[in-house]
Structure 1
Amino acid sequence: MEVAELRAIAARGETYTVEFKRGRRQKDLSDSDIVEAAMCLANGDGGLLCLGIEDSGTITGLAHRHGDHTDPDRIAALLLNLTDPPIAAHAELLIVDGVDVVVVEVPKATAPVGTKNGLYKRRSLRLDGKPECVPYRPQEMLSAGFSMAGRDYAEVVLPDATLEDLDPAEFDRFRRGARSQRGDAALIDAGNREILRALRLLNGDSGVTIGAVLLFGTADALTRFIPTAECLFQEFNGRELTANESLRLPLLRTADELYERLRVRNSEYEVMLGLHRVGVPRIPDSTAREAIANALTHRDYTENGPIRVQLSVDDLTVTSPGGFPPGVSLDNLIVESRPRSPLIADAFKRSGLVDRAGRGVPEMYLSLLRAGRGGPDYSRSNDRSVTVSIPTGGADLDMVRFIINYEDEHQSHLTLDQLRVLHEIKAMGPSSAIDLSEGLRLLPAITRATLSRLTEMGLLEDRGVGRNRRFHLSAAFYRVAEDRNAYVRVRGIDPLQQEQMVMSYLDTYGRITRSEVAKLCLMSSQEARGLLTRLRDERKIDMLGVKRGAYYVRSDANQ
């Protein structure tokens, strides 16, 4: 590694794969500290352990550890000898501004790693995004072991379970689902054993697996063998909890029960298209199905705690224990599908509960965007749980009207990327390709291609050149959406003017709300949210209060 590269790493600060350790004095850093830090990184994604850098990123150097010098090979040997299984790391000594810094390249572990003293820790991210090392619990190591070995936990045989622990009524439920258009018609008339064999959930003639009990088990069998299989349904009216139900049922029945609870609470907006009325559901059916199916099939059943399905006026939130499956992250969850249990996911597909295995998240995005709402929000997910928040408040009926009119007129469907870009620009106002790429987590090449295509289609226009080039919705978009005045507003006030109007308002009145921004700048509530988010990111304003009580003031740095 070059010194310039190390300086850049120090300037960026600690991340999930980079850990700093101070060591100006011998007593600052013990051998145990080094071993534990390397073990923690190995139990994450591996990474760099930098000895001689403060948590702040300041390079202060490492005191000599081996007499009058520091031997990086002896540090690598230390890790090899004091971890189990051994960590084969590479250590390198660099001289930076006259002081020593040792950079240890720690590989990602292929099995849970501990110290020879029996200590196990893993890498984690706090709610504020800062990395930390936390205890590596036995159930987490069990789950990680299955993933690392490429084994599906659903195929593990339960030694004490028998076919008597499976409920015949649940097999009938599966057959009813298989009769649907989405189901597997080949299993409609299959016997119970044949269904288990087809789903690969029976080992031999009587080896009942975890997956079999999860899908078809009796209440007693679930309690005895998989006590973590629980789901909570909660409904809130403001702060008041109006429904609070615990479901300890096999997965297919749990899914049906949750779908029904959401169905009876669903409602529709109406959009007029000429003389026709088109219903826009509060929660699209496919969105509800995919959100619940994903939680039930992807959760980590070695983790304690129930799945939580919470419905409020503003959103539907589904939280399932266990982080994203290996290989899935916020950056790729739209295009990457790696179910924690392929067998459970396949059973849901063949029972007709979902349309296509591996299309859950894209289908959720499509159905929500077509209903005039933003995409599902996974930003509250971490390595302990996956949380998706689905907006259920007021729909953008202009967007709904546009999508229906445009696709009917052109007899073709807009793609997911095109819908995401259109929604983002309508919500955030004129945006650059870089802004859209970062905000939507799209590859720059895909973003540029999508913008180019939408411009060719006449749905976007651009202003400026180079880095100042911004895209906004075109007159054609608002004509199809039947809101021509909006085009004049977007075209007439640029982002700089909008910012100046908000800051001037704050100078005069001291505070401003999102609805006041919308009225002031003649924009929608979503566009006002986008403007306020940008000003907060630029640290020009601060938000005080929460939810409906939130308001904005000038940042202390800009007083």
Structure 2
Amino acid sequence: MDIETILAEGESLTIEFKSQIFDKELVKAVSCMSNSQGGTLLIGVEDDGTVCGARPRHGDATNPDRVAAVILNTTTPPLPVSVSLHHYGDHEIIRIDVPIADPGPTGTKDGVFTKRVLDTKGEPQCLPMTAHEIVSLGMVTRGQDFAAAVARGATLDDLDPDEFDRFRHRCADTGDPIAKLGDLDILRALGLEPHSAPISIGAILLFGKNHALRRWIPNAEFLFQDLRHGPSSTNDHIVGPLVKVAEELRSRIDSRNTTTEILVGLHRLEIPLIPEITRRETVANALVHRDYAELGPTRVQITDDDFIVTNPGGLPPGVTVANILEQSKPRSVLLASAFLRAGLVERKGKGVNEMFEHQLRAGRDAPDYSGTTLDSVVVSIPLGTSDLDLVRFLRTYENDNQRLLTLDELRVIHEVKASGSLSPGELASSLDLPSSAVRRITTSLLEAGIVESRGTGRSRSLHLTARFYDLAHDRSAYVRVKGADPFQLERMILDYVAAYGSITRAQAAELCQNTPPQARAILKRMVDKGALRMVGERRGAKYLLEETA
């Protein structure tokens, strides 16, 4: 990223501006950045992005190699950074590119360990790292499995024989031969017997008695909350070994699950409120992938609109919200393996993908990870009313053609359905897919008769075929979608905002005579173009002209 782009973007989690800074504070700033996502620090720039120029640091000039050497020699472990000088008008800027700490965390020689985070206003700041965070990050970046760490002072008496029986019973159901082993041999088979001691942290997590959990892993606590009004409302605090906790959470969720029945041809189809794969994977991922060094409980919540799981600790290294469908990296391989043998996670390692697929095939929106931060993973599963017309359409196609649609095909179909019509470029942007993948998927869907195209070149757009609207008994909607001119709709919205100051998603839907999801897509497109700016969030959001926002 060039200097002009960095200045235009402004300060963020990965960009920091300093007008002037002494070496001691500089070392703190770069080590703080390295313990987060790395990034770029510019010296000679005010907080608001105004370039004031950096003073020479070594007599009449600045030697980039000496700046890098100071940082390398006063951080622990030594942090290699890239330092360069750039001229901006009449001013000189010192640019320091900071890598992610590997191995980490990185501190100063004075023993200061901080990490860069965003505060409640979205502003970046450096906060002290706790002892738990330092240990946890150190193990993760060094490829060490915390479950293999020694639980010092623990003995076999701290483990519950009933929990070994519970684990054996589950393994017997999956046909795993570990079900025939004794307690100590199970620990050895799972890699949970350290060489220097008989009991590991992982053994306590899976088989420990409650007093052992409170002593060695006090953060292993879980909350189940049904926040809906009515007799099912509850707020349960759960402490226990992980397999038992997984079963208790499953029982609570299943007792509150409901199903909707529809007819697809001659077949009766049941659509659960929370699909079994969704319940299984969200709970198992929360138990296996959470950072047990982080304070706070894992929360499993059911609201009127969503099924939400919140987990302390960020995503495992290498996994991001953008690549979560492509990457599968457990924080603890040992715990993941134990859950796999007990049948508590997807054997192919693609449980998240299956969760997305089941959600979309049930006619609901995809799981949402947008609430995830560096300190917690949040997945929200929409529980709104299923789009039964879309479910019938998809199942009719799959039954007639004896072929299941792929996850990416389902994602494209849902996006097109929600928006009414979209161009291939808009699909690539909204789904974060390569243009080549979108071309391949849309070509397949066109050949299958699931979508149709209108226009050519950049004005080409895709919408669902007339067959869908026929099954939905809404043929007039097909005519509206096919004949809709996106530029005309945008012009109508701009005229409305110019006249009344702002517009909401519901008002845009009424104005354009389309659905709220379709209106959302049009408004998002206008925001991306810079025509509008969104103020507020979700249902409280409104859209203003960019120059008046």
Task: State the TM-score, normalized to the length of structure 2.
Answer: 0.92
Paired with 1:328 and 1:553, the residues of 2 have a C-alpha distance of 33
Aligned position for 1:26: none
Are 1:112 and 2:109 counterparts? no
Residue of 10, 14, 32 corresponding to 1:13:
10
Q: Distance in 1 between matches of 2:237 and 2:379?
A: 20
CA 1:542–1:157 in 2, change beyond 3 Å: closer, same or farther?
closer
Shift of 1:225: 1.2
1:381 matched to 2:378? The reply is: no
Shift of 1:151: 1.1
Which residue is 1:347 aligned to?
Answer: 338
1:235 aligns with 2:226: yes
Deviation readout 1:223-247 (Å, 9 max, x if unpaired): 1111100001111126999311100
The change in CA–CA distance for 1:241 and 1:189 in structure 2 (over 3 A counts) is: closer
- Which residue matches 2:53? 61
Q: Match for residue 131 of structure 2? A: 138
Amino acid at match of 2:70: L
Correspondences of 1:468-483 after superposition (within 5 Å): 468-479=459-470, 483=474
Post-superposition Cα deviations, 1:287-322, rounded to whole Å, max 9, x if no partner, equal 111011111100000011000111101001100000
- Deviation larger for 402-411 or 451-460: 451-460
Measured in 2, the distance between the counterparts of 1:518 and 1:450 equals 28
User: Is the Cα–Cα contact under 8 Å of residues 232 and 256 in structure 2 kept in the other structure?
Assistant: no
Distance 1:321 1:159, change over 3 A: same
1:82 to 34, 59, 74: 74
1:407 to 360, 385, 398: 398
1:455-504 CA-partner distances (Å, limit 9, x unpaired)? 22222222333333322222244346665443222112233333344455
Q: Is 1:491 matched up with 2:488?
A: no
Secondary structure class of the residue paired with 2:296 = coil
CA contact (8 A) 1:338 1:358 kept: no
Structure 2 residue 70 is matched with structure 1 residue 73? no
Counterparts of 1:94-493 in structure 2, within 5 Å, are 94-109=86-101, 110-126=103-119, 131-180=124-173, 183-203=174-194, 207-237=198-228, 242-356=233-347, 358-479=349-470, 483-493=474-484
Query: Can you list the C-alpha shifts for 1:309-338, whole angstroms capped at 9, x where unaligned?
Result: 111010011000000111011111111011
Please say which of residues 119-128 and 212-221 is displaced more in the overlay. Answer: 119-128
Q: Secondary structure at the match of 2:2?
A: helix
Letter in 1 for 2:177: A
| Farther-moved stretch of structure 1 (502-511 vs 383-392) | 502-511
Say whether the 8 Å CA contact 2:494–2:545 is kept in structure 1.
no
Provide the secondary structure at the position in 2 that maps to 1:154: helix
CA distance in 1, matches of 2:397, 2:43: 59
1:484–1:199 CA distance, 2 compared to 1 (3 A):
farther
Q: Which residue of 1 aligns with 2:43?
A: 51
Verify the 8 A CA contact 2:152 2:197 in the aligned structure 1: no
Letter in 1 for 2:482: R
Cα pair 2:204 2:241 within 8 Å, conserved: yes
For the residue of structure 2 that corresponds to 1:297, the secondary structure is helix
CA contact (8 A) 1:316 1:389 kept: yes
Given the superposition, is the C-alpha separation of residues 15 and 37 from structure 1 closer, same or farther in structure 2, using an over 3 Å criterion?
same
In the TM superposition, residue 65 of structure 1 has moved relative to its aligned partner by 2.6
1:161-187 Cα shifts (integer Å, max 9, x gaps): 11111112212221222233xx24312
* C-alpha deviation, 1:205, in angstroms: 10
Query: How far apart, in 2, do the equivalents of 1:420 and 1:240 lie?
Result: 36
TM-score by length of 1: 0.90
SS at structure 2 position matched to 1:301: coil
Q: Distance in 1 between matches of 2:202 and 2:367?
A: 28
Letter in 2 for 1:62: A
Task: Return closer, same or farther for 1:179/1:496 CA change in 2, 3 Å cut-off.
Answer: farther
- 1:37 is aligned with what amino acid? A
Distance 1:356 1:478, change over 3 A: farther
1:106 Cα deviation after fit: 2.8
1:558 Cα deviation from its structure 2 partner: 5.2
Kindly indicate whether residue 29 of structure 2 is the aligned counterpart of residue 37 of structure 1.
yes
- Please give the per-residue CA displacement for 1:5-24, whole angstroms capped at 9, x wherever unaligned: 3223323333443322213x
SS at match of 1:202: coil
Can you list the C-alpha shifts for 1:511-531, whole angstroms capped at 9, x where unaligned? 765455445534334323333
The CA distance in 2 between the partners of 1:489 and 1:11, in whole Å, is: 41
